[in-house]
Amino acid sequence: MVIKDWTKVTPALSPPVLNCINKQGFKTMTPIQAAVIPLILTCKDVVAEAVTGSGKTLAFVVPLLEMLMKKAKDSPLRKDYIYAVIISPTRELATQIVKVIELFLAEPELKHLTISLLVGGRPIEMDAESMMKGAQITVCTPGRFQDLLEERKHLNLSARLKDLEFLVLDEADRLLDLGFSATLTTILQYLPRQRRTGLFSATQTKELQDLVRAGLRNPVLISVKEKSTISTPIALENFYIIVEPQDKLLVLLNFIRNRKVTKGLFFLPTCACVDYWADVLPGFLPEMKIYAIHGKMKQKRNKILEKFRAAENTILLCTDLLARGLDIPSVEWVLQWEPPTSPAALVHRAGRSARGGCAGASLLPLLPTEDSYVPFIKSNQKVELKDYKSSNDVIKITDKLKDKVLSILHDQQVKDRAIFDKGQRAFVSHIRAYSKHECNLLLQLKELPLGHIATSYGLIKLPLMPEIKDEHKKQFVGPKEAIDFNSIPYKDKQKEQSRLQKLEEYKKTGTWPSKKKKKMSQSKPWEQTKLNKLEKQDKRKKRKELKKKLNEEGKKGKKRKTVTQEELDELAADVALIKKLKKRKITAEQFDQAFDTDK
Q: How far apart are CA 357 and CA 344, in angstroms?
A: 21
User: In this structure, are residues 231 and 377 in contact, taking their beta carbons and an 8 Å threshold?
Assistant: no
pLDDT per residue as tens digits for the range 279-289: 999 999 999 99
Least confident of 89-93, 291-295, 436-440, 565-569: 565-569
Q: How far apart are CA 322 and CA 514, in angstroms?
A: 36
Instruction: pLDDT band for 88, please (50, 70, 90 cuts).
Output: very high
- Give pLDDT, residue 214: 67
The pLDDT of residue 419 is above 80: yes
HEC letters along 505-535: HHHHHCCCCCCCCCCHHHCCCHHHHHHHHHH
- Give pLDDT, residue 483: 92
The pLDDT of residue 573 is above 90: no
Percent of the chain scoring above 90 in pLDDT? 48
- Give pLDDT, residue 468: 93
- Give pLDDT, residue 326: 77
Q: How far apart are CA 419 and CA 411, in angstroms?
A: 10
Instruction: pLDDT band for 406, please (50, 70, 90 cuts).
Output: very high
Question: What angle in degrees, to the nearest 10, is found between the helix axes of 142-150 and 124-133?
Answer: 80
The pLDDT of residue 455 is above 80: yes
What is the per-residue DSSP string for 53-70? TS-HHHHHHHHHHHHHHH
| Phi (first) and psi of residue 557, to 5 degrees | -85, -145
Section 531-560 average pLDDT: 71
Instruction: pLDDT band for 265, please (50, 70, 90 cuts).
Output: very high
User: In this structure, are residues 382 and 230 in contact, taking their beta carbons and an 8 Å threshold?
Assistant: yes
- Give pLDDT, residue 230: 54
Q: How far apart are CA 307 and CA 287, in angstroms?
A: 16
In 356-392, which positions are buried (b, 16+ CB within 10 angstroms) versus exposed (e)? Answer: eeeebbbbbbbbeebeebbebbeeebbbebeebeeee
Write down the pTM of the prediction: 0.71
Residue type, 583: K
Nearest to 443 by CA among 454, 455, 427, 431: 431
Q: How far apart are CA 12 and CA 9, in angstroms?
A: 5
- Give pLDDT, residue 395: 80
Section 120-142 average pLDDT: 88
- Give pLDDT, residue 77: 93
Strands of 192-320 (E only): list them. 196-201, 220-224, 236-242, 263-267, 289-293, 314-318
Residue type, 161: L
DSSP code of residue 12: P
From edge to edge, which strands make up the β-sheet containing 84-87? 115-118, 137-140, 84-87, 166-169, 196-201, 46-50, 220-224
Least confident of 148-162, 331-345, 373-387, 553-567: 553-567
Q: How far apart are CA 561 and CA 572, in angstroms?
A: 19
User: In this structure, are residues 64 and 137 in contact, taking their beta carbons and an 8 Å threshold?
Assistant: yes
Section 333-359 average pLDDT: 87
Question: What angle in degrees, to the nearest 10, is found between the helix axes of 343-350 and 373-381?
Answer: 80
Helix/strand number for the chain, H first, E second:
22, 14
584 vs 219, higher pLDDT: 219
The pLDDT of residue 237 is above 50: yes
Q: How far apart are CA 303 and CA 55, in angstroms?
A: 24
Tell me the pLDDT of the chain averaged across its residues.
86
Output the furthest CA–CA distance in the chain (Å, rounded).
97
Q: How far is CA 378 from the centre of its chain?
A: 24
Q: How far apart are CA 326 and CA 208, in angstroms?
A: 21
User: In this structure, are residues 362 and 236 in contact, taking their beta carbons and an 8 Å threshold?
Assistant: yes
| Phi (first) and psi of residue 386, to 5 degrees | -95, 145
Strands of 63-163 (E only): list them. 84-87, 115-118, 137-140
- Give pLDDT, residue 599: 43
- Give pLDDT, residue 85: 97
- Give pLDDT, residue 367: 95
Q: How far apart are CA 401 and CA 407, in angstroms?
A: 10
User: In this structure, are residues 347 and 232 in contact, taking their beta carbons and an 8 Å threshold?
Assistant: yes
The pLDDT of residue 485 is above 60: yes
Helix or strand or coil: residue 324?
A: coil
Instruction: pLDDT band for 556, please (50, 70, 90 cuts).
Output: low
Strands of 184-288 (E only): list them. 196-201, 220-224, 236-242, 263-267
- Give pLDDT, residue 520: 44
pLDDT per residue as tens digits for the range 239-256: 999 999 999 999 999 999
Please report, for residues 222, 278, 358, the alpha-carbon distance to residue 203 in angstroms, rounded to integers and kept in the order given: 12, 32, 22
pLDDT per residue as tens digits for the range 362-397: 999 999 999 999 999 998 888 899 999 887 777 888
Least confident of 4-8, 86-90, 270-274: 4-8
DSSP H or E run through 335: strand 333-336
User: In this structure, are residues 505 and 513 in contact, taking their beta carbons and an 8 Å threshold?
Assistant: yes
Cα Rg of the chain, angstroms: 30
In which region does residue 121 sit, left (phi positive, over 0), alpha (psi from -120 to 50) or beta (all else)? left
Section 432-455 average pLDDT: 91
User: In this structure, are residues 485 and 464 in contact, taking their beta carbons and an 8 Å threshold?
Assistant: no
The pLDDT of residue 64 is above 70: yes
Nearest to 172 by CA among 36, 325, 34, 320: 325
How many CB atoms neighbour CB 244 within 10 A? 15
523 vs 419, higher pLDDT: 419
